[in-house]
């Protein structure tokens, strides 16, 4: 990747690069309406080398770079024109040097293009509709039961039809009056409908009851079936990748969101009789009354709750949503609105519960939830909906034609080896006809054959070749349709074309300037030294004070002795060695201090002598003032940053002059005046 290496960026260099930096930072990736390319008869403002700059191009770039609120006048336009000429001169030079043909440049530009193209290659309208739909569903919790008749996702048509007939027969039984739960218990192929044993533990069957859930909790087709079926009614068969479902919606209520509660459980023992149930109810009622009268819920839970996992913490449960608890518990928790509110006793299969609301995170506004919805959307099977919509738009916009017989040919050349990842693509050598068309581009059978070859994988099962070809073709078509749209972006969207041109020129300019100015200024030590010698009087120190500042771990114990030694003419090393025998008790800073650099130096008199002062922390220090140093040039190592920046400016100006000598620049003053008139009139 082409990158800046070790630049010192000067003010003049920053000004030069405004043409790129402002362009790149101000460009939005939002998709704009398609438009035609600029007319060939459009007025040309200037010619820089072989590069023609039109009136509209200059106005567009100038407006992007002009800071909002700045006054547009003829002078600012002239200044920007000069910068833009320099920009174009450098791009011309980069092209002549072949920097646009370098592999690294092409890779970097392709990487930028891939990122910039992404917003153009999704169906924004479909995505926004899916986000809005998800938000509306998020505001509601639903409870539903289902009956599943399994059928493989890639089943042959006859197997799919058989499963459909079975599920329709079950639907009719329920419509004729049979109990949904009983039919689910007898017929559903979802194992959770019936009692089962897992690791020695008996799990009761749910008879198809899935409890409460909300958006993104189920696969999208099933979710659609639930939310589109009115409460209390039975759906038509719903197909998912698992098979066919009959759905009965038993409840719809405002969303619980996420809550944190504490609970008290009074367990009804297994095999309990009526008396045991009455005793449990009476105990729950008694505890509820005590809490209502002022007893602390947490203390009651610690003493009386039969849930050993939470009793010791006052009954506190982890935060949960509607799909994390049994339905009755969710329904009762949903009734609590106020923090601290306690439910009346209610029963589940575990016994009697009391619930206290501790925290409640309700569903926010669409803007508040949008980020999370977008995140969930990407992980959901909904993401395919947006792709399918985009492909449909591409087919409709450019025209699409499938040659059906040519597609059917593939079922004849495939063998079961493709399901082991061993199919030989040479089996399709005879297939050379066009397979489909998008716009003016045709894709032939061999391209699809190569796709099948690349995508074949070992599978656990085999499927009908017709189904396999159909599924793979849809993926192949999606890939090629998106690629076709990608290839049309520059022609279809002027803003994208301009943006890509700006990125291209910007990368070239960055690399060439690095070579000619930034890195050269750093690495050309002889040139830098020569420049410094010619301009060293421009890098002057002001008046400075040469002094030593002694700091002490214990000023009260050591400061006076240090002053005596300094007044006696002892050197810094002698003073340090006296105090720092085993530990460092005294430290010193000796340098030439300019005004404003050090608070201690700014406080003392600027004349030779020995004084006691205070540092910024209020601690006493000893200052030995050696001499006042008159203004003098800075050494190169002391001013390297400033000198390097100015040397860059010098190299920049010298380079620009050479480019102006090398490339012819012609400006159409008549067009320029019309631009000035147009821009200043719009103020």
Between these two residues, 330 and 20, which has the higher pLDDT value? 330
598 touches 519 (CB < 8 A): no
Q: What are 252's strand-pairing partners?
A: 142
Residue 679 confidence (pLDDT): 86
Closest to 59 measured CA to CA, from 677, 670, 683, 675 = 675
Q: How far apart are the first and last CA of the chain?
A: 42
Among 144, 181, 164, 184, which residue's Cα sits nearest to residue 243?
A: 164
Q: Among residues of the chain, what percentage have pLDDT more than 70?
A: 93
| 672: three-class secondary structure by DSSP | helix
User: How confident is the model at residue 68, as a pLDDT?
Assistant: 56
Mean pLDDT of all residues in 491-507: 93
**Coil, strand or helix at 584:** coil
Angle, CA of 250, 251 and 255, to the nearest 5°: 150
DSSP code, position 268: P
Q: Which is it for strands 434-438 and 400-402: parallel, antiparallel or unpaired?
A: antiparallel
What pLDDT score was predicted for residue 574?
93
The single residue listed with the structure tokens 């996702």 is 153
Task: Determine the pLDDT at residue 263.
Answer: 96
Per the CB < 8 A criterion, the answer to whether 234 and 248 are in contact is yes
| Residue-level pLDDT at 447 | 97
Residue 134: closest CA among 217, 245, 247: 217
Q: Is 433 helix (H, G, I), strand (E, B) or coil?
A: coil
Say whether pLDDT at 682 is over 90. Answer: no
Q: Which residues contact 288 (CB under 8 A, 6 or more apart)?
A: 342, 344, 345, 354
Is the pLDDT score of 587 beyond 70?
A: yes
Percent of the chain whose pLDDT exceeds 90 = 79
Instruction: State pLDDT tens for residues 637-672.
Output: 999 999 999 999 999 999 999 999 999 999 999 999
pLDDT digits (tens, 9 = 90+) for 172-199: 999 999 999 999 999 999 999 999 888 7
**Once rounded to an integer, what is the mean pLDDT over residues 467-476?**
95
Cα 374 to Cα 120: distance, rounded to the nearest angstrom: 17
DSSP letter for each residue of 230-278: PTT-BPPPEEETTEEEEEEEEEEEE---EEEEEEEEEEPPTT--HHHHH
**Residue pLDDT, tens place only, 378-400:** 888 888 888 899 999 999 999 99
3 state SS of 313: coil
Mean pLDDT over each residue of the chain, to the nearest integer: 90
Banded pLDDT at 341 (limits 50, 70, 90): very high
The yes-or-no verdict on residue 31 having pLDDT over 90 is: no
More confident residue, 196 or 28: 196
* 159's tokens: 């197997």
- Which of 28, 3, 115 lies closest to 506, judged by CA? 3
Inter-residue contact 163 to 151 (CB < 8 Å): yes
Asked if 452 contacts 418 with a C-beta cutoff of 8 angstroms, the reply is yes
- Tens of pLDDT, residue by residue over 192-251, are 999 988 877 888 899 999 999 999 999 999 999 999 999 999 999 999 999 999 999 999
Beta-sheet strand order (sheet of 434-438) = 400-402, 434-438, 441-444
On the question of pLDDT at 17 being above 80, the answer is no
**71: confidence class by pLDDT, cuts 50, 70, 90:** low
The phi and psi torsions of 428 (rounded to 5 degrees) equal -105, 15
Length of the chain: 683
For 356, other C-beta atoms within 10 Å of its C-beta total 23
Q: Is the pLDDT of residue 616 over 90?
A: no
User: How sure is the predictor about 40, in pLDDT bands with cuts at 50, 70 and 90?
Assistant: low
> With 70 as the cut, is the pLDDT of residue 32 above it?
no
Per-residue pLDDT, 526: 95
Digit-coded pLDDT (tens) for 521-578: 889 999 999 999 999 999 999 999 999 999 998 888 899 999 999 999 999 999 999 9
pTM of the full structure: 0.72
Strand 609-614 relative to strand 620-629, pairing: antiparallel
The pLDDT, as a whole number, for residue 75 is 79
DSSP state of 420: B
Q: What is the pLDDT of residue 215?
A: 95
């Amino acid at each position: 990747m082409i990158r800046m290496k070790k630049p010192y960026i000067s003010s003049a260099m920053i000004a030069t690069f405004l043409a790129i930096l402002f362009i790149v930072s101000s460009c939005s990736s939002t998709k704009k309406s398609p438009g035609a390319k600029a007319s060939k008869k459009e007025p040309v403002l200037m010619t820089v080398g072989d590069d023609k700059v039109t009136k509209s191009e200059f106005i567009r770039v100038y407006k992007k770079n002009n800071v909002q609120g700045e006054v547009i006048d003829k002078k600012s336009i002239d200044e920007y024109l000069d910068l833009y000429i320099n920009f174009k001169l450098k791009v011309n030079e980069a092209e002549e040097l072949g920097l646009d043909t370098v592999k690294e440049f092409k890779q970097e530009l392709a990487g930028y293009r891939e990122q910039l193209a992404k917003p153009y290659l999704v169906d924004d309208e479909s995505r926004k509709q899916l986000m809005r739909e998800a938000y509306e569903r998020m505001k509601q919790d639903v409870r539903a039961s289902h009956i599943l008749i399994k059928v493989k996702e890639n089943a042959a048509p006859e197997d799919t039809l058989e499963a459909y007939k079975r599920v329709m027969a079950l639907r009719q039984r329920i419509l004729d009056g049979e109990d949904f739960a009983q039919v689910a218990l007898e017929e559903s192929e979802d194992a959770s409908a019936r009692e089962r044993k897992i690791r020695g533990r008996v799990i009761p069957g749910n008879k198809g009851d899935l409890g409460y859930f909300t958006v993104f909790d189920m696969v999208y087709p099933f979710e659609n079936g639930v939310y589109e079926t009115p409460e209390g009614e039975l759906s038509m068969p719903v197909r998912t990748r698992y098979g066919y479902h009959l759905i009965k919606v038993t409840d719809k209520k405002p969303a619980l969101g996420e809550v944190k509660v504490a609970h008290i459980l009074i367990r009804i023992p297994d095999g309990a009789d009526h008396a045991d149930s009455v005793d449990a109810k009476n105990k729950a009622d008694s505890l509820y009354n005590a809490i209502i009268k002022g007893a602390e819920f947490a203390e009651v839970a610690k003493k009386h709750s039969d849930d050993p996992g939470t009793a010791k913490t006052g009954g506190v449960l982890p935060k949960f949503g509607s799909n994390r608890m049994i339905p009755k518990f969710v329904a009762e928790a949903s009734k609590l609105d106020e923090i601290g509110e306690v439910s009346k006793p209610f029963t589940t299969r575990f016994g009697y519960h009391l619930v206290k609301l501790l925290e409640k995170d309700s569903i926010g506004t669409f803007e508040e939830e949008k980020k999370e919805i977008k995140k969930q959307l990407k992980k959901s099977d909904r993401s395919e909906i947006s792709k399918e919509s985009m492909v449909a738009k591409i087919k409709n916009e450019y025209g699409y034609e499938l040659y059906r017989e040519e597609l059917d040919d593939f079922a004849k050349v495939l063998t079961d080896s493709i399901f082991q990842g061993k199919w030989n693509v040479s089996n399709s050598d005879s297939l050379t006809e066009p397979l489909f068309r998008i716009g003016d581009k045709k894709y032939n059978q061999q391209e699809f054959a190569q796709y099948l070859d690349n995508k074949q994988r070992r599978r656990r099962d085999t499927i009908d070749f017709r189904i396999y070809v159909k599924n793979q073709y849809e993926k192949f078509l999606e890939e090629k349709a998106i690629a076709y749209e990608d290839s049309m972006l520059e022609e279809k969207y002027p803003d994208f074309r301009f943006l890509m041109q700006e990125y291209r020129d910007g990368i070239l300019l960055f690399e060439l300037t690095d070579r000619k100015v930034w890195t050269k200024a750093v690495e050309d030590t002889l040139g830098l030294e020569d420049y410094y010698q010619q301009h060293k009087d421009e890098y002057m120190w002001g008046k400075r004070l040469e002094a030593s500042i002694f700091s002490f771990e214990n000023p009260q114990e050591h400061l006076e002795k240090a002053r005596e030694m300094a007044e006696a003419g002892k050197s810094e090393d002698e003073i340090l060695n006296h105090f720092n025998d085993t530990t460092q008790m005294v430290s010193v800073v000796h340098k030439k201090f300019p005004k404003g650099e050090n608070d201690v130096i700014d406080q003392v008199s600027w004349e030779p002598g020995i004084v006691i002062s205070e540092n910024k922390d209020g601690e006493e220090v000893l200052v030995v003032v050696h001499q006042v140093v008159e203004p003098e040039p800075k050494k190169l190592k002391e001013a390297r940053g400033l000198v390097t920046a100015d040397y860059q400016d010098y190299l920049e100006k010298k380079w620009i002059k050479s480019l102006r000598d090398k490339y012819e620049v012609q400006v159409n003053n008549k067009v320029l005046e019309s631009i000035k008139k147009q821009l200043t009139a719009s103020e």
